[in-house]
Amino acid sequence: MSSDNKVESKIKKDPISKRAAFILDEGVVHEYLTEHFSRFGEPYHKTERPNGYIPFCVAENKQIFDLVEPKLSQRPGMNITHLGYNDFRGTAEFREALAAFLKDYVFKRAVEPSKLGIANGAGPLVEMLFWALCDENDGVIVPAPYYSGFDMDLTARAKCKILPANMNAEDDFAFDVSACQKAVEEGRKQGIEAKALLLTSPNNPLGRSYTRDELQSLIDWAKNNKIAVVVDEVYALSLTQPSEKPFVSICELMTPDEMREANVHVLYSFSKDFGMSGFRVGLIYSETQRVLDWASNMGFFYGVSTDTQFVLTSMLKDRDFLERYVTTMQQRLADSYQTILKHLGGKESRIVSESKTASDDTATANKKVTIRVLPADAGIFVFIDCRAFLPLDVEPSLGENRLWRHVLETQNLNLSTGHSCHCETPGFMRLCYAMESEVLQEALRRLTVAFSNLPWPCAADAGVIDN
């Protein structure tokens, strides 16, 4: 049998379609996630599983269950109307509660409940929305580095082409709207026309809020270029410095009419700020009726159970609870962020052996590791600069994967690589820190051990200093 016939025979035997096989075989799901789901069944426990798995790679807030658990166990008031089909955009009561919550906590201005729609998570909403805004093979500009899940959301079924707008690593990836224009021009060279832009605000993976000026520059550029804009504001309340660096919603800069004219839409979900990723509830706010009609029709495939909507409606109506929750959640995030800076933070990444002499005159050496943490003020993660720890004998892109694998295999600790976040410069990693204090301390200990015992020479080696 010829090689061509063998290939054809293999294709015929595959029980799934070519498009499904493409998603499975072409690596749309990143390696760190595959490792996560193979390990998360044996998590770290101080006494029962001291060497158990710790995910630094998953953006979930594990610090707040004790705050929300009392609200989740309440079901008084449920009735027969919650058992049948309901409005796929969300029940009227839920959308009214959402509108009030968004006005006071996220958008900082009024929004009509009729302009909201819900679906089973922000990821499905991204897919659904870009089906509406783009045709197959249209380009979507995404400022990079960006959340790795957008690869699946935008390409697997929506069939969009991602055009990364690469920010400059030497400027700590500060937002520069000119990078968006470069992405448009690069797309045209490939025969791809940019139709929309997707922005996560605050930024994931940088953990950084956008300023009013940065957002305004983006709005002005998109309007001039007739580019639709989708802003994912899922980390709007996850702030470590809410007083000094408050979150600015795109809605604060635009009236409803301006959003309609500029084709701007906003997403939010309960997965991040409320740590409810398992509830699968996201929302879209749009002033464009055709987009809302599309979301309503697709709601048949992306629906949220009325039981879940009922529980969240009750929670959102309790303003005393919300005030306590947001304040406590932000303080816990701030404490964890400071823990990260205390254990890792330095102006540069380096390894130094601190020479000490034991009482028996035998010398011992304790290695001190500092890892540069890029400035952050939001989200539940930081971007760390690991370039100095990459092996010197391979290309940086290969070295990044080798470093990630070393930490995973020696310490059962999983980070998100910069490559998975489409960081143009190899050597950065995302570290998610919203976990219980004891687990965070253990994770940081393991990270330090891994970086102190690299089986290769690297630029971070700085010799020995005497104490």
- Over residues 160-215, the pLDDT tens digits come to 999 999 999 999 999 999 999 999 999 999 999 999 999 999 999 999 999 999 99
The pairing of strands 428-432 and 381-385 is antiparallel
The fraction of the chain above a pLDDT of 90, given in percent, is: 71
Cβ-proximal residues to 209 (8 Å cutoff; 6+ apart), any chain: 201, 202, 203, 239, 245, 246, 247, 248, 377, 378
361 — pLDDT class (breaks 50, 70, 90): very low
- Integer Cα distance of 34 and 20 in angstroms: 17
pLDDT at position 226, please? 96
Residue 355 burial by Cβ neighbours in a 10 Å radius (0-12, 13-18, 19+) = middle
Question: Global pTM?
Answer: 0.87
Extents of the domains making up the chain: 3-64+327-357+364-466, 77-317
- Integer Cα distance of 447 and 415 in angstroms: 10
Q: Which of 12-21, 88-97, 303-312, 352-361 has the lowest mean pLDDT?
A: 352-361
Whether 359 has a pLDDT exceeding 50, the answer reads no
Indicate if 77-317 has the same CATH topology as 3-64+327-357+364-466.
no
pLDDT at position 79, please? 64
pLDDT at position 11, please? 47
Contact 433, 382 (CB under 8 A): yes
336 — pLDDT class (breaks 50, 70, 90): very high
pLDDT at position 18, please? 73
Which one is predicted more confidently, 165 or 298?
A: 165
How many residues does this entry show for the chain?
A: 467
pLDDT at position 1, please? 44
pLDDT at position 63, please? 85
Arch. (CATH architecture) of 77-317? 3-Layer(aba) Sandwich (3.40)
Mean pLDDT of the chain: 88
Mean pLDDT of the 51-75 span: 81
Mean pLDDT of the 124-144 span: 94
Residue 77 gets which letter from DSSP? T
Q: Indicate the helix (H) or strand (E) that contains 352.
A: strand 350-357
* Half-sphere exposure for 303 (CA within 13 Å, toward CB): 12
- Residue 150: name the closest of 361, 41, 142 by CA: 142
Residue 19 gets which letter from DSSP? H
In order, the DSSP letters of 172-192 are TT---THHHHHHHHHHHHTT-
Contact 265, 258 (CB under 8 A): no
Mean pLDDT of the 119-126 span: 93
Cα-based distances in Å from 335 to 65, 330, 374, 419: 17, 9, 17, 28
- Over residues 366-419, the pLDDT tens digits come to 678 999 999 999 999 999 999 999 999 999 999 999 999 999 999 999 999 999
pLDDT at position 30, please? 77
- Over residues 15-39, the pLDDT tens digits come to 656 766 766 676 566 788 888 888 8
pLDDT at position 9, please? 42
Contact 251, 231 (CB under 8 A): no
Contact 38, 428 (CB under 8 A): no
Residue indicated by tokens 């007083």: 243
Whether 115 has a pLDDT exceeding 90, the answer reads yes
CATH fold group of domain 3-64+327-357+364-466: Aspartate Aminotransferase, domain 1 (3.90.1150)
